[in-house]
Amino acid sequence: ILGFSTAPGRLSMMAFVLNALTCALGLLYFIRRGKQCLDFTVTVHFFHLLGCWIYNSHFPSTLTWWLVHIVCTALMAAIGEYLCMRIELREIPLSSAPKSNV
């Protein structure tokens, strides 16, 4: 079903890309560590591969399936790491002033 030639194929590919973007936000919310983003991304896509293999009763062998998942893996890891690194590199406030004015 994945492919550029049909409308359902393009829609499915767009859904995979949007899923990668929302999962990158999930990495920011749940993982919060830039170094662990690639590990969790590959783990999620590996479990998806196993699920597809079990559901279809054969190993995915089409080139478009692999290309879409490689692109989505790279997109999810890169955007997730970028977002996590922005959070990690925020300035830590170091004020020595008292917290209350009495």
Reference 7, options 75, 67, 21, 15; nearest CA is 15
* Residue with the two structure tokens 């004015």: 101
The amino acid that residue 19 corresponds to is N
pTM: 0.80
- pLDDT by residue for the chain (102 residues), tens only, comes to 677 788 888 898 899 999 999 999 999 899 888 888 999 999 999 999 999 999 999 999 888 889 999 999 999 999 999 999 998 888 777 777 666 665
Q: Is 80 left (phi over 0), alpha (psi -120 to 50) or beta?
A: alpha
